[in-house]
Amino acid sequence: RTIRVSNGINQDHPVGNGVAKMTQCLAEKSGGKMKLRAFWGNALGGDLQATQALRGGTLEMVITSTSPLVGIIPALGVFDLPFLFNNEKEADAVLDGEFGKYMAEKLTPVGLVNLSYWENGFRNLTNSRKPVATAADMSGLKVRVMQNNIFLDSFKTLGANATPMSFGEVYAALETRAIDGQENPLVTIDTSKMYEVQKHLSLTRHAYTPFLALYSKKLYDALAPEEQKALVDCSIVGRDEQRRVSRDLTDKSLVKLKKEGMQVVEIAPAELAKMRAATAPVYERHKATIGQDTIDRLQAVLKPMRGN
Ligand code: KDG
């Protein structure tokens, strides 16, 4: 079985490491009968388009951010809430535990099986016009965000001119100055070579996006139980490798971005606190769409970890 996997970034992104590890695992478990064939750089379409293909049963897998899928599963918007996670430990505890299972159960009714959660990561702002050290500095900046109302609301609240766009269009829009900036994890800014068209980097870590390792439910249900188990088990082997490489590469990507000439601004803690406070109302405005139960269950995981 050749399992086609769609993704929007390039093979040298940590997702490439995860896919390689998952492929090796599947070959071992299936005696070479199951393998992944990855299509990089949105070759099979953007995240939302590929996900719709899974639902139709015309594509096996996509590794996608949760953010573009909120039109299908509104509860996924919980992961777009600004400054939700403080660190990867919190993200892993939420995603790999009961809450992750609870969210995965919302995907099967819409034709999607989430094999495991991989890591897109903590997102940072880049732009071509000026250093951004405060929310006030964002005023007037035309910033691309994922096609997602919570990201739109968060960046408008911070004072930016937020513009929704699929990931595949971002590099060209930055190059032609149709937009001034965008926001993504450092490993994506690095492996998508955004340093070629972006001068300024602000280490905002304003959101943590998970990746969903999704399989078409139509196609998954047609597999033998041992094939299904191999996919889930090997997606977890891939996940652990992908997160390891992503966290190892993050610091190296920052060094590289500086070497490539990006001016890096560390946001002062007092300024980050102001950004958190400014975007706190975003939670209130979107909780009905996300669902109070979803928010409560996520907070129930975080509270004990934070000693409150
Ligand atoms: O397929 C995954 C990519 O599209 C991912 O990088 C999405 O973070 C993303 C963005 O900014 O659209």
The pLDDT assigned to 151 comes to 98
Closest C-alpha to 123, from 81, 175, 90: 81
167 lines ligand 1 (CB under 6 A): yes
- Percentage of the chain exceeding pLDDT 90: 100
Output the DSSP codes for 154-211: HHHHTT-EEEE--GGGHHHHHHTTSSSEEEE-HHHHHHTTGGGT--EEEE----EEEE
CA gyration radius, the chain: 19
* Residue tagged 């990201």 (tokens): 151
The pLDDT assigned to 131 comes to 98
188 lines ligand 1 (CB under 6 A): yes
Say how many Å lie between the CA of residue 167 and the centre of ligand 1. 6
Q: Which helix (H) or strand (E) holds 157?
A: helix 149-157
Dist CA 243 CA 92 (whole Å):
10
Bridge partners of residue 117, in order along the sequence:
212
Is 123 within 8 Å of 194 (Cβ atoms)?
no
Token output for 228: 């299904």
Say how many Å lie between the CA of residue 190 and the centre of ligand 1. 13
Please state whether beta strands 200-203 and 61-65 pair in parallel, antiparallel, or not at all (unpaired): unpaired
The pLDDT assigned to 167 comes to 95
User: Phi and psi at residue 300, in whole multiples of 5°?
Assistant: -65, -25
Bridge partners of residue 164, in order along the sequence:
145
183 lines ligand 1 (CB under 6 A): no
Tell me: the pLDDT tens digits for 246-290?
Answer: 999 999 999 999 999 999 999 999 999 999 999 999 999 999 999
Atom of ligand 1 nearest to the CA of 68: 12
Tell me: the pLDDT tens digits for 57-98?
Answer: 999 999 999 999 999 999 999 999 999 999 999 999 999 999
Token output for 160: 């930016």
* Residue tagged 């990089």 (tokens): 40
Token output for 267: 């946001």
Output the DSSP codes for 3-59: EEEE-SS-TTSHHHHHHHHHHHHHHHHHTTS-EEEEE-TTTT--HHHHHHHHHHTS-
Tell me: the pLDDT tens digits for 29-61?
Answer: 999 999 999 999 999 999 999 999 999 999 999
Which protein residue has the closest C-alpha to ligand 1 atom 7?
A: 65
Which protein residue has the closest C-alpha to ligand 1 atom 12?
A: 167
HSE toward the beta carbon, residue 160, CA cutoff 13 A: 30
Mean pLDDT of 182-211: 98
**Crossing angle between the packed helical segments 88-95 and 292-305, to the nearest 10 degrees:** 130
HSE toward the beta carbon, residue 178, CA cutoff 13 A: 11
Is 209 within 8 Å of 66 (Cβ atoms)?
yes
User: Phi and psi at residue 110, in whole multiples of 5°?
Assistant: -105, 20
- Kindly report the average pLDDT of the chain as a whole number: 97
Dist CA 166 CA 239 (whole Å):
24
9 lines ligand 1 (CB under 6 A): yes
- Percentage of the chain exceeding pLDDT 70: 100
Dist CA 175 CA 128 (whole Å):
9
7 lines ligand 1 (CB under 6 A): yes
Which protein residue has the closest C-alpha to ligand 1 atom 10?
A: 167
What single letter denotes the amino acid at residue 25?
A: C
Bridge partners of residue 39, in order along the sequence:
6
Decide if pLDDT at 308 tops 90: no
Say how many Å lie between the CA of residue 43 and the centre of ligand 1. 13
182 lines ligand 1 (CB under 6 A): no
Dist CA 86 CA 207 (whole Å):
9
209 lines ligand 1 (CB under 6 A): yes
120 lines ligand 1 (CB under 6 A): yes
Dist CA 147 CA 131 (whole Å):
25
Atom of ligand 1 nearest to the CA of 120: 8
Say how many Å lie between the CA of residue 123 and the centre of ligand 1. 11
64 lines ligand 1 (CB under 6 A): yes
Atom of ligand 1 nearest to the CA of 47: 1
Which protein residue has the closest C-alpha to ligand 1 atom 4?
A: 8
